[in-house]
Amino acid sequence: MGETKLRILELYSGIGGMHYAAELANVGAEVVFSVDINTSANEVYRHNFKQTNQQSRNIESLSANEINKLKPNVIMMSPPCQPFTRVGLKLDVEDSRCSSFLHLLEVLPHLETVSFVLMENVVGFETSEMRNAFTKALKSCGFYFREFLLSPVSLQIPNSRNRYYLIAKKFTNFTFGTETDIMTAFPSNSCDVNMPSVEQSTLEPYLEKSFADEELARYLLPAKTLVKYWRILDVRQRSDISSCCFTKAYTHYAEGTGSVLQHDSSESFREKFAEFEKDGNVAHLKPLQLRYFTPREIANLMGFPAQFSFPENTSLRTRYRLLGNSLNVHVVSSLLKILLE
Protein backbone atom coordinates (compact mmCIF):
# COMPACT_ATOMS: atom_id res chain seq x y z
CA MET A 1 0.00 0.00 0.00
CA GLY A 2 3.06 2.26 -0.17
CA GLU A 3 3.79 5.09 2.19
CA THR A 4 0.41 6.83 2.17
CA LYS A 5 -1.99 5.52 4.77
CA LEU A 6 -5.64 4.91 4.05
CA ARG A 7 -7.75 7.47 5.87
CA ILE A 8 -10.65 6.21 8.01
CA LEU A 9 -13.76 8.17 8.94
CA GLU A 10 -15.18 6.49 12.05
CA LEU A 11 -18.90 7.16 12.60
CA TYR A 12 -20.93 6.22 15.72
CA SER A 13 -17.51 5.59 17.25
CA GLY A 14 -18.63 4.53 20.74
CA ILE A 15 -15.68 3.58 22.95
CA GLY A 16 -13.37 2.96 19.98
CA GLY A 17 -13.92 -0.66 18.98
CA MET A 18 -13.60 0.16 15.27
CA HIS A 19 -10.43 2.17 15.93
CA TYR A 20 -8.84 -0.74 17.81
CA ALA A 21 -9.94 -3.09 15.01
CA ALA A 22 -8.16 -0.89 12.45
CA GLU A 23 -4.99 -0.92 14.56
CA LEU A 24 -5.15 -4.69 15.01
CA ALA A 25 -5.73 -5.27 11.27
CA ASN A 26 -2.42 -3.51 10.59
CA VAL A 27 -3.42 -2.65 7.01
CA GLY A 28 -1.82 0.78 6.78
CA ALA A 29 -4.94 2.73 7.73
CA GLU A 30 -5.49 5.43 10.33
CA VAL A 31 -8.57 7.06 11.85
CA VAL A 32 -8.52 10.73 10.84
CA PHE A 33 -11.90 11.77 12.24
CA SER A 34 -14.30 10.20 14.70
CA VAL A 35 -17.88 11.16 15.62
CA ASP A 36 -20.44 10.09 18.22
CA ILE A 37 -23.28 11.82 20.05
CA ASN A 38 -22.88 9.85 23.32
CA THR A 39 -20.90 11.95 25.80
CA SER A 40 -19.95 9.04 28.13
CA ALA A 41 -18.65 7.00 25.18
CA ASN A 42 -16.74 10.01 23.88
CA GLU A 43 -15.00 10.48 27.24
CA VAL A 44 -13.78 6.89 27.12
CA TYR A 45 -12.74 7.25 23.47
CA ARG A 46 -10.70 10.40 24.14
CA HIS A 47 -9.14 8.81 27.21
CA ASN A 48 -7.74 6.05 24.97
CA PHE A 49 -7.12 7.96 21.72
CA LYS A 50 -5.83 11.34 22.80
CA GLN A 51 -4.34 12.11 19.36
CA THR A 52 -7.52 11.48 17.34
CA ASN A 53 -9.81 14.28 16.20
CA GLN A 54 -12.93 13.01 18.00
CA GLN A 55 -16.05 15.18 17.99
CA SER A 56 -19.20 14.98 20.06
CA ARG A 57 -21.92 15.86 17.58
CA ASN A 58 -24.85 14.59 15.58
CA ILE A 59 -23.84 12.88 12.34
CA GLU A 60 -26.65 14.78 10.59
CA SER A 61 -24.50 17.90 10.98
CA LEU A 62 -21.79 16.36 8.74
CA SER A 63 -22.07 17.70 5.18
CA ALA A 64 -20.57 16.07 2.09
CA ASN A 65 -18.32 19.11 1.80
CA GLU A 66 -16.92 18.69 5.32
CA ILE A 67 -16.35 14.96 4.80
CA ASN A 68 -14.63 15.55 1.43
CA LYS A 69 -12.19 17.95 3.08
CA LEU A 70 -11.09 15.07 5.33
CA LYS A 71 -10.35 12.93 2.21
CA PRO A 72 -11.42 9.64 3.82
CA ASN A 73 -10.94 6.38 1.88
CA VAL A 74 -12.77 4.17 4.37
CA ILE A 75 -15.95 4.64 6.41
CA MET A 76 -16.31 2.37 9.46
CA MET A 77 -19.57 2.61 11.38
CA SER A 78 -21.89 1.00 13.89
CA PRO A 79 -25.21 2.89 13.63
CA PRO A 80 -27.86 2.82 16.43
CA CYS A 81 -29.26 -0.70 16.67
CA GLN A 82 -32.41 -0.05 18.76
CA PRO A 83 -34.68 0.30 15.68
CA PHE A 84 -33.86 -3.33 14.76
CA THR A 85 -33.29 -5.18 18.07
CA ARG A 86 -35.27 -8.16 19.33
CA VAL A 87 -36.24 -6.17 22.46
CA GLY A 88 -36.89 -2.91 20.61
CA LEU A 89 -40.10 -1.81 18.92
CA LYS A 90 -38.62 -2.57 15.48
CA LEU A 91 -39.80 0.74 14.04
CA ASP A 92 -37.09 0.41 11.38
CA VAL A 93 -36.73 3.50 9.15
CA GLU A 94 -39.60 5.22 11.01
CA ASP A 95 -37.46 5.32 14.18
CA SER A 96 -36.00 8.80 14.75
CA ARG A 97 -32.68 7.16 15.64
CA CYS A 98 -32.36 6.16 11.96
CA SER A 99 -32.36 9.77 10.77
CA SER A 100 -28.56 10.16 10.97
CA PHE A 101 -28.05 6.97 8.95
CA LEU A 102 -30.60 8.11 6.35
CA HIS A 103 -28.66 11.39 6.17
CA LEU A 104 -25.50 9.41 5.40
CA LEU A 105 -27.22 7.65 2.51
CA GLU A 106 -28.12 11.07 1.06
CA VAL A 107 -24.52 12.25 1.42
CA LEU A 108 -22.90 9.07 0.05
CA PRO A 109 -23.20 9.88 -3.70
CA HIS A 110 -21.32 13.15 -3.09
CA LEU A 111 -18.30 11.64 -1.30
CA GLU A 112 -15.32 11.90 -3.63
CA THR A 113 -12.67 9.74 -1.95
CA VAL A 114 -14.58 6.94 -0.16
CA SER A 115 -13.92 3.52 -1.73
CA PHE A 116 -14.52 1.20 1.24
CA VAL A 117 -17.30 0.82 3.82
CA LEU A 118 -17.55 -1.48 6.86
CA MET A 119 -20.74 -1.49 8.90
CA GLU A 120 -21.84 -3.43 12.01
CA ASN A 121 -25.36 -3.82 13.41
CA VAL A 122 -27.61 -6.26 15.23
CA VAL A 123 -29.14 -9.42 13.79
CA GLY A 124 -32.48 -8.25 12.42
CA PHE A 125 -30.95 -5.44 10.37
CA GLU A 126 -30.64 -7.85 7.42
CA THR A 127 -34.45 -8.04 7.07
CA SER A 128 -35.09 -4.32 7.58
CA GLU A 129 -36.19 -1.59 5.19
CA MET A 130 -33.07 0.30 6.27
CA ARG A 131 -30.87 -2.53 4.96
CA ASN A 132 -32.68 -2.34 1.61
CA ALA A 133 -32.16 1.42 1.45
CA PHE A 134 -28.49 1.03 2.41
CA THR A 135 -27.66 -1.64 -0.19
CA LYS A 136 -29.57 0.25 -2.87
CA ALA A 137 -27.57 3.43 -2.10
CA LEU A 138 -24.30 1.47 -2.20
CA LYS A 139 -25.14 -0.11 -5.57
CA SER A 140 -26.14 3.21 -7.10
CA CYS A 141 -22.75 4.64 -6.04
CA GLY A 142 -20.87 1.78 -7.71
CA PHE A 143 -20.06 -0.31 -4.63
CA TYR A 144 -19.93 -4.11 -4.52
CA PHE A 145 -20.93 -5.53 -1.12
CA ARG A 146 -21.04 -8.70 0.96
CA GLU A 147 -23.12 -9.35 4.10
CA PHE A 148 -22.35 -11.57 7.08
CA LEU A 149 -23.92 -12.82 10.30
CA LEU A 150 -20.91 -13.62 12.49
CA SER A 151 -20.10 -14.40 16.11
CA PRO A 152 -16.69 -14.33 17.87
CA VAL A 153 -17.21 -18.07 18.42
CA SER A 154 -16.12 -18.54 14.78
CA LEU A 155 -12.70 -17.20 15.85
CA GLN A 156 -12.51 -19.63 18.81
CA ILE A 157 -13.35 -16.81 21.23
CA PRO A 158 -15.53 -18.18 24.07
CA ASN A 159 -18.26 -15.56 23.78
CA SER A 160 -21.41 -15.45 21.70
CA ARG A 161 -22.15 -12.11 20.03
CA ASN A 162 -23.92 -12.74 16.75
CA ARG A 163 -23.98 -9.56 14.68
CA TYR A 164 -24.73 -8.34 11.16
CA TYR A 165 -21.81 -6.98 9.14
CA LEU A 166 -21.57 -5.45 5.69
CA ILE A 167 -18.38 -4.73 3.78
CA ALA A 168 -18.43 -2.77 0.52
CA LYS A 169 -15.86 -1.57 -2.01
CA LYS A 170 -15.75 0.25 -5.32
CA PHE A 171 -13.99 -0.74 -8.56
CA THR A 172 -13.40 -4.48 -8.02
CA ASN A 173 -15.84 -7.18 -6.95
CA PHE A 174 -15.19 -9.67 -4.15
CA THR A 175 -13.76 -13.07 -5.06
CA PHE A 176 -16.18 -14.92 -2.77
CA GLY A 177 -19.94 -15.08 -2.16
CA THR A 178 -22.71 -13.14 -3.87
CA GLU A 179 -24.86 -10.10 -3.06
CA THR A 180 -27.91 -12.29 -2.50
CA ASP A 181 -26.32 -14.52 0.17
CA ILE A 182 -25.69 -13.68 3.78
CA MET A 183 -22.54 -15.49 4.85
CA THR A 184 -22.40 -17.09 8.30
CA ALA A 185 -18.67 -17.83 8.27
CA PHE A 186 -15.51 -16.07 7.14
CA PRO A 187 -14.67 -16.84 3.49
CA SER A 188 -12.67 -20.06 3.32
CA ASN A 189 -10.10 -18.57 0.95
CA SER A 190 -9.17 -15.83 3.38
CA CYS A 191 -6.01 -16.08 5.44
CA ASP A 192 -6.78 -12.64 6.84
CA VAL A 193 -8.71 -13.85 9.84
CA ASN A 194 -7.44 -12.57 13.17
CA MET A 195 -7.18 -15.43 15.62
CA PRO A 196 -6.56 -14.09 19.12
CA SER A 197 -3.26 -15.13 20.67
CA VAL A 198 -5.02 -17.43 23.13
CA GLU A 199 -4.49 -21.06 22.14
CA GLN A 200 -7.35 -22.65 24.04
CA SER A 201 -10.77 -21.17 23.79
CA THR A 202 -11.68 -21.52 27.47
CA LEU A 203 -12.73 -18.52 29.53
CA GLU A 204 -9.70 -18.81 31.84
CA PRO A 205 -7.19 -16.71 29.80
CA TYR A 206 -9.70 -13.86 29.54
CA LEU A 207 -10.26 -13.59 33.30
CA GLU A 208 -8.53 -11.29 35.75
CA LYS A 209 -5.84 -13.17 37.63
CA SER A 210 -6.25 -11.98 41.20
CA PHE A 211 -8.87 -10.29 43.34
CA ALA A 212 -8.56 -8.56 46.68
CA ASP A 213 -11.48 -9.53 48.97
CA GLU A 214 -13.14 -6.12 48.74
CA GLU A 215 -12.75 -6.17 44.94
CA LEU A 216 -14.39 -9.60 44.71
CA ALA A 217 -17.23 -8.43 46.99
CA ARG A 218 -17.99 -5.67 44.49
CA TYR A 219 -18.86 -8.24 41.80
CA LEU A 220 -20.58 -10.98 43.82
CA LEU A 221 -24.26 -11.51 42.99
CA PRO A 222 -26.50 -10.17 45.78
CA ALA A 223 -28.36 -12.83 47.80
CA LYS A 224 -31.74 -11.46 46.66
CA THR A 225 -30.71 -11.88 43.00
CA LEU A 226 -29.68 -15.48 43.66
CA VAL A 227 -32.93 -16.29 45.46
CA LYS A 228 -35.13 -14.70 42.81
CA TYR A 229 -33.31 -15.63 39.61
CA TRP A 230 -31.21 -18.74 40.33
CA ARG A 231 -33.17 -20.83 37.81
CA ILE A 232 -32.42 -18.51 34.87
CA LEU A 233 -28.82 -17.53 35.61
CA ASP A 234 -26.33 -18.64 32.98
CA VAL A 235 -23.51 -19.84 35.27
CA ARG A 236 -20.12 -20.52 33.68
CA GLN A 237 -16.95 -22.20 34.93
CA ARG A 238 -13.43 -21.01 34.12
CA SER A 239 -12.93 -24.09 31.94
CA ASP A 240 -16.02 -23.43 29.82
CA ILE A 241 -15.55 -22.69 26.12
CA SER A 242 -18.52 -20.34 25.75
CA SER A 243 -20.43 -17.50 27.41
CA CYS A 244 -23.58 -15.56 26.55
CA CYS A 245 -23.62 -12.18 24.86
CA PHE A 246 -23.12 -9.29 27.31
CA THR A 247 -25.71 -6.57 26.74
CA LYS A 248 -25.93 -3.00 28.02
CA ALA A 249 -28.33 -4.18 30.77
CA TYR A 250 -25.78 -6.61 32.29
CA THR A 251 -25.92 -6.57 36.14
CA HIS A 252 -29.13 -4.52 35.91
CA TYR A 253 -31.37 -7.33 34.63
CA ALA A 254 -30.74 -11.01 35.34
CA GLU A 255 -32.22 -12.66 32.27
CA GLY A 256 -30.57 -12.72 28.86
CA THR A 257 -27.99 -10.02 29.56
CA GLY A 258 -24.85 -12.15 29.92
CA SER A 259 -23.28 -15.04 31.84
CA VAL A 260 -22.10 -15.07 35.45
CA LEU A 261 -18.98 -16.86 36.72
CA GLN A 262 -18.42 -19.40 39.46
CA HIS A 263 -15.36 -17.74 40.96
CA ASP A 264 -14.44 -20.63 43.27
CA SER A 265 -14.16 -23.60 40.95
CA SER A 266 -13.22 -26.02 43.74
CA GLU A 267 -16.88 -26.35 44.79
CA SER A 268 -19.48 -28.49 43.02
CA PHE A 269 -22.01 -26.25 41.35
CA ARG A 270 -24.63 -29.03 41.03
CA GLU A 271 -24.32 -30.13 44.67
CA LYS A 272 -24.66 -26.62 46.04
CA PHE A 273 -27.70 -25.85 43.89
CA ALA A 274 -29.31 -29.16 44.86
CA GLU A 275 -28.86 -28.27 48.56
CA PHE A 276 -30.30 -24.81 47.95
CA GLU A 277 -33.29 -26.26 46.10
CA LYS A 278 -34.13 -28.49 49.09
CA ASP A 279 -34.46 -25.81 51.76
CA GLY A 280 -34.13 -22.44 49.97
CA ASN A 281 -31.22 -21.39 52.19
CA VAL A 282 -29.07 -19.11 50.04
CA ALA A 283 -26.07 -19.78 52.31
CA HIS A 284 -25.56 -23.03 50.37
CA LEU A 285 -24.60 -21.01 47.31
CA LYS A 286 -22.11 -18.74 49.08
CA PRO A 287 -19.05 -21.03 48.66
CA LEU A 288 -19.47 -20.89 44.87
CA GLN A 289 -18.70 -17.15 44.92
CA LEU A 290 -21.00 -16.50 41.95
CA ARG A 291 -19.98 -13.18 40.46
CA TYR A 292 -20.43 -10.93 37.46
CA PHE A 293 -17.70 -10.79 34.85
CA THR A 294 -15.77 -7.56 35.39
CA PRO A 295 -15.71 -4.82 32.72
CA ARG A 296 -12.05 -5.70 32.05
CA GLU A 297 -12.96 -9.36 31.45
CA ILE A 298 -15.78 -8.44 29.09
CA ALA A 299 -13.42 -6.07 27.28
CA ASN A 300 -10.92 -8.95 26.96
CA LEU A 301 -13.59 -11.23 25.45
CA MET A 302 -14.53 -8.44 23.04
CA GLY A 303 -10.94 -8.12 21.84
CA PHE A 304 -10.03 -4.78 23.43
CA PRO A 305 -6.26 -4.66 24.03
CA ALA A 306 -4.62 -4.60 27.45
CA GLN A 307 -3.93 -0.86 27.18
CA PHE A 308 -7.64 -0.04 26.83
CA SER A 309 -9.03 1.52 30.01
CA PHE A 310 -11.90 3.59 31.36
CA PRO A 311 -11.44 7.02 32.95
CA GLU A 312 -11.51 6.61 36.74
CA ASN A 313 -14.74 8.61 37.04
CA THR A 314 -16.69 6.24 34.73
CA SER A 315 -19.18 4.40 36.97
CA LEU A 316 -19.39 0.60 36.97
CA ARG A 317 -22.89 0.67 35.50
CA THR A 318 -21.77 3.00 32.70
CA ARG A 319 -18.80 0.73 31.91
CA TYR A 320 -21.13 -2.25 31.48
CA ARG A 321 -23.56 -0.20 29.39
CA LEU A 322 -20.85 1.09 27.05
CA LEU A 323 -19.29 -2.37 26.59
CA GLY A 324 -22.75 -3.84 25.92
CA ASN A 325 -23.18 -1.30 23.12
CA SER A 326 -19.75 -1.99 21.63
CA LEU A 327 -18.46 -4.63 19.21
CA ASN A 328 -15.96 -7.47 18.93
CA VAL A 329 -12.63 -6.02 17.83
CA HIS A 330 -11.29 -9.33 16.43
CA VAL A 331 -14.31 -9.91 14.18
CA VAL A 332 -14.25 -6.35 12.78
CA SER A 333 -10.48 -6.45 12.35
CA SER A 334 -10.71 -9.69 10.35
CA LEU A 335 -13.42 -8.22 8.11
CA LEU A 336 -11.39 -5.04 7.56
CA LYS A 337 -8.43 -7.13 6.39
CA ILE A 338 -10.69 -9.06 4.00
CA LEU A 339 -12.15 -5.77 2.70
CA LEU A 340 -8.78 -4.12 2.09
CA GLU A 341 -6.79 -7.13 0.91
The set of catalytic residues is 81
Cα separation of 53 and 32, whole Å?
7
How far the first Cα of the chain sits from its last, in Å, is 10
Q: Which helix (H) or strand (E) holds 222?
A: none
- DSSP type of residue 255: S
Q: What 3-state DSSP class applies to 76?
A: strand
In terms of Cβ atoms closer than 10 Å to its own Cβ (0-12, 13-18, 19+), residue 109 is exposed
Tell me the DSSP string of 141-183.
Answer: TTEEEEEEEE-GGGGT-S----EEEEEEEESS--SS--TT-EE
Q: Which helix (H) or strand (E) holds 57?
A: none
Task: Specify the pairing of strand 54-56 against strand 143-150.
Answer: unpaired
